[in-house]
Structure 1
Amino acid sequence: MDLRKNMKSDFDEFLKDEAIFEEVNNNAIKKVIAYQIAQEMKQQNITQTELAKMMNTSRTVIHKLLNPENNSLTLQSLQSVANALGKRLSISLV
């Protein structure tokens, strides 16, 4: 456990030294969110088209939500997709 903590700290420092820590962290968060949305859609057997209809939006918007490379998520879009999937959005600072 101690070794893992040291490796994480060293890697975080490396990313900070390279001035890419925030970018890498943001991309990781976006990928996790996109994965969670996709998994919930799969579990509920909901297509992108169906989710778009539930959210009163276009399939293009859903495609962007599910694209891990697209970093233009807003709290409003996250709340909207959570509501459509019958879930609660939870964000915390740690």
Structure 2
Amino acid sequence: AGGVVATDLKSPVAWAPVSQVPHRDGSVGHFPHIIERGKPGIIGVLANGKRFVNEAHGYYDYVSAMVAAVPSDVEVCSWLVCDHRFLRRYGLGYARPA
């Protein structure tokens, strides 16, 4: 009551990289990429095709590096790029491993 709370948080939000997943009913869900980013054989790239972070770092670090790397007048987004071998071994999002 009337007190001030001070924290040492970097940000008041919990950032995590997610994929937008379209559902049959037209709505869009989200799939968080928490674990697979740290596996060998995947990279995160910006719209310009350049890698911007060590994908194995924490999800907060991934998103904050993405925000910092994108100009303020451009939509903030990235793509996780992998090959068939990676997908068969680990899966990615809703694409489950073989």
Asked if Structure 1 and Structure 2 have the same fold, meaning a TM-score greater than 0.5 normalized by the shorter chain, the answer is no
TM-score (norm 1): 0.32
TM-score (norm 2): 0.31
Q: Which has the higher strand share?
A: 2
